[in-house]
Structure 1
Amino acid sequence: MLLFIQFFKNYESEILGSIILLLVLLIIRYIARKLIKKIGHKAGINDARIHLISRYATATLILIWLLIETIIFGAQFEEIAVVFSSVFAVIGIALFAIWSILSNITSGIIMFFNFPYKVGDKIMIHDKDFPIEAIIEDIAAFQLHLRLDNGDLVTYPNNLILQKPVTLLKKDAIVLPQDDGTDAV
């Protein structure tokens, strides 16, 4: 018990700073989640995508918290720079192999905040090799799920949908089942 008390006496200001930082970041997280939810509902985005973007925001805040915590407990900028450059070098090599996945996730985040089409809209993707005319069934983290007129399901990567011209053919072409389990009319 004496060791425990001594620890708190030695690191009193750091622990107080950590508690304040944690409270501030929790408040920022709360505000960010509310804003994301408000933007999502205003844009007519489904709850699963809203939850996904909220998790991305939370993960970003955790990384910021870890960085500031190291500074609070006395790590010097040079020490942090060495650690981060080493970590980012390893991560960079690993991520180079999966750049397409990161590109799709980033595109999914961009599409959350700025994508004029919604689930249920009928669109045409002007791809010279494979033009697609389909109804958007779902907008996931990595791809769009498109239902063709013949009933086939096509998954289209998020990063490609932002690179190709798209035409809205019909707004709310289908009515999807409601969340409460009943079908819409």
Structure 2
Amino acid sequence: MEEFIADHKSSMLFSLILFILIITLKIIFTSIARKVGKLSDFNPVRTNLIIKYINIVLTTLAIITLTFISGVNYKDLGVLLSSVFAVIGVALFAQWSILSNITAGVIIFFSFPFKIGNTIRIMDKEILDPDNPEREVFVIEDIKAFHLHLRSPKGEIITYPNSLVLQKGVVLISTYKDEEIEEPKENS
């Protein structure tokens, strides 16, 4: 046992440093995501989803780094990784829209100027109805990882992909706080 510890002392030390670094980064990134969520008044479910993404990325980086620390043969690792990435690449190409919607969901979390309860108009020719402009207005019911839930004036729930929200123009008509404020009356 002592011989094993003596032979692998440096790799165990690097593994311990990596573990402490990953835990520290997890705490820092989680607190940043929670602060952004709180300052921007985001739904806690959305904040927890972003924290889950952060944990997945940090875990993946830790596993990759641990493989290099443990001294895996790079030639064998290259063959393994190229095979795995070939399969993953084909799968992600087949599911590109899902990947782009997840990425758009993360971008929307950090920089989307609209929140749940806002009334919006999406400048998409497939949604726009020149005969009935009321149909163009939607209230954001929920923001998920892959799509938005929008409520039409008729009460219909429409799911709209996150990637399209970033590609199309979105007009903010009113916020949920605007509806509580009364309009000032004009003096005649």
Distance in 1 between residues matched to 2:25 and 2:46, nearest whole Å: 20
- Any stretches of 5+ residues in structure 2 without a counterpart? 129-135, 180-188
Q: How does 1:79-94 map to 2 (within 5 A)?
A: 79-94=76-91
Matched, 1:46 2:39: no
* Residue type at the aligned position of 2:119: K
Matched, 1:57 2:67: no
Q: 1:148 aligns with which of 146, 152, 156?
A: 152
**Which structure 1 residue ranges, 4+ long, deviate > 6 Å from structure 2?**
none
Shift of 1:17: 1.4
Matched, 1:164 2:168: yes
SS of 1:117's equivalent?
coil
Corresponding residue of 1:179: none
Seq. identity, %: 42
Distance in 1 between residues matched to 2:125 and 2:177, nearest whole Å: 24
Shift of 1:80: 3.7
Distance in 2 between residues matched to 1:49 and 1:166, nearest whole Å: 20
Corresponding residue of 1:31: 28
Q: How does 1:47-126 map to 2 (within 5 A)?
A: 47-126=44-123
Quote the RMSD (CA, aligned, Å): 1.8
Shift of 1:72: 0.8
Distance in 1 between residues matched to 2:98 and 2:178, nearest whole Å: 29
Q: Which has the larger radius of gyration?
A: 2
Q: 1:13 aligns with which of 1, 10, 17?
A: 10
Q: 1:139 aligns with which of 118, 139, 143?
A: 143
TM-score of the aligned structures, taking structure 2 as reference length: 0.85
Higher mean alpha-carbon deviation, 29-38 vs 10-19, is at: 10-19
Shift of 1:173: 6.6
SS of 2:167's equivalent?
coil
Distance in 2 between residues matched to 1:174 and 1:86, nearest whole Å: 54
